[in-house]
């Protein structure tokens, strides 16, 4: 799903770090529009289920239980917002 549309992985990773630091730390580092960034891509509802499963699995592996739950909550709310904005709900 990602490889065909992400042409510069190091830059994309910087964007992701900026986004998640803004979400989790309220850093204000991310100033783009996630809805606009995702709208042109052929995203389906099932992609969100898959992504959230991977996200939760990884969070459980690398974070404490309380931090994993916190990040899973952030991810769920973001996914719900994107799904709604993309007309998938």
Looking at residue 3, its pLDDT comes to: 87
Average pLDDT, the chain: 94
pTM attached to this predicted model: 0.86
Looking at residue 89, its pLDDT comes to: 78
* SS3 at position 49: helix
pLDDT in tens, 38-62: 999 999 999 999 999 999 999 999 9
Please report, for the chain, the start and end positions of each structural domain, with discontinuous segments joined by +: 1-31, 33-89
- Say whether pLDDT at 1 is over 80: no
Tokens at residue 89, please? Answer: 């709900």
Single out the residue of 79, 74, 66 nearest to residue 38, CA to CA.
Answer: 79
Tokens at residue 48, please? Answer: 């969100």
């Amino acid at each position: 799903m990602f490889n065909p549309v992400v042409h510069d992985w190091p830059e994309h990773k910087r964007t992701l770090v900026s986004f998640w630091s803004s979400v989790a730390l309220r850093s204000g580092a991310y100033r783009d529009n996630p809805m606009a960034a995702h709208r042109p891509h052929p995203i389906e509802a099932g992609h969100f289920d898959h992504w959230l499963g991977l996200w939760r699995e990884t969070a459980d592996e690398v974070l404490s239980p309380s931090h994993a739950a916190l990040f899973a909550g952030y991810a769920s709310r973001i996914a719900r917002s994107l799904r709604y904005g993309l007309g998938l709900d």
